[in-house]
Copies of this chain bind each other. A is one copy, B any other.
Amino acid sequence: MSGERPIAVVLLSGGMDSCVTAAVAARDHRLALLHSSYGQRTEARERRAFEEIAAHLQAPFRLWIRQRYMTQIGGSALTDASLAVPEADLAAAASGQIPITYVPFRNAHFLSAAVSWGEVLGARRIFVGAVEQDSSGYPDCRPQYYRAFNEVVRLGTRPETRIEICAPLVSMLKADIVRRGRELEAPLALTWSCYRREDLACGTCDSCALRLLAFEQAGVPDPIPYQKR
């Protein structure tokens, strides 16, 4: 065994949750940060957030991939320009309705890339910033989904590969994620969460509304500028 810390692949969208997740992973791992441009509305702004966070964290491994075929598949307001991103409706999300911003089976595309890259790098863990409670209402953000995916990883890779998917925030409340990010000095000012805009965060889509509420509940200011709040 070498004395080096193990490698962790972190799925870094550039949003608050993935940024805090990267800060969690950085305590015990060498970071391999993975970002996908999948044709989402705020693709360029999210990529900038990824690059800035990766530079801040001095990650030794970085990979930017394009999965733009997601726009050929569509089925979501994030990847189909003809479907509008609605105003926030956190009550609907909390009630278990699947919002129109759900991208069909999206996280499997990101996890697959992370596992492939992780297998080549010899990584031991994949970190993903999925959050179940108090959040999006997406089926692929629940703990049981990641448990099942771990079984696919075990069966679908080389016998000697030992990769575990970890979702350290999955059971946390958003306000606690803000607090945890601040404790870890995660660069929250570099993150981008808005589903709609790339210049100023709109402040009124589901993603902005959840983020603003989280900072409010944590009793700290959100360091990024908003069009409206």
Tell me which residues across on chain B come within 8 A of A158, comparing CB atoms. Answer: 98, 102, 104, 139
> Complex Cα distance A85/B174, Å?
49
Minimum Cβ distance to chain B for residue A167 (Å): 13
Interface string of A98-134 (1 = CB under 8 A from B): 1000111111110111011101100000000000000
**Is the C-beta of A28 less than 8 angstroms from some C-beta in chain B?**
no
Decide: B153 and A105 in contact? CB cutoff 8 A: yes
Tell me which residues across on chain B come within 8 A of A159, comparing CB atoms. Answer: 98, 139
Closest to A110 in B: B112
> Complex Cα distance A153/B63, Å?
26
> Complex Cα distance A109/B65, Å?
13
**Is the C-beta of A74 less than 8 angstroms from some C-beta in chain B?**
yes
Interface string of A128-151 (1 = CB under 8 A from B): 000000000001101011001101
Instruction: Give the oligomeric copy count.
Output: 2
Minimum Cβ distance to chain B for residue A118 (Å): 8
> Complex Cα distance A65/B68, Å?
9
Decide: B109 and A105 in contact? CB cutoff 8 A: no
> Complex Cα distance A77/B117, Å?
15
Tell me which residues across on chain B come within 8 A of A75, comparing CB atoms. Answer: 116, 119-120
> Main SS of the interface on chain A?
helix
**Is the C-beta of A155 less than 8 angstroms from some C-beta in chain B?**
yes
> Complex Cα distance A159/B137, Å?
12
Given A69-B65, A108-B112, A120:B156 Cβ within 8 A? no
Decide: A73 and B109 in contact? CB cutoff 8 A: no
**Is the C-beta of A1 less than 8 angstroms from some C-beta in chain B?**
no
Decide: A107 and B156 in contact? CB cutoff 8 A: yes
Contact among B65, B70, B109, B151 for A72, CB-based, below 8 A: B65
> Complex Cα distance A106/B157, Å?
9
Minimum Cβ distance to chain B for residue A7 (Å): 14
Decide: A155 and B145 in contact? CB cutoff 8 A: yes
Which residues of A, 53-98, contact B by the 8 Å Cβ criterion? 63, 65-70, 72-75, 98
Tell me which residues across on chain B come within 8 A of A103, comparing CB atoms. Answer: 116
Residues on A facing B (Cβ under 8 Å): 63, 65-70, 72-75, 98, 102-109, 111-113, 115-117, 119-120, 139-140, 142, 144-145, 148-149, 151-153, 155-159
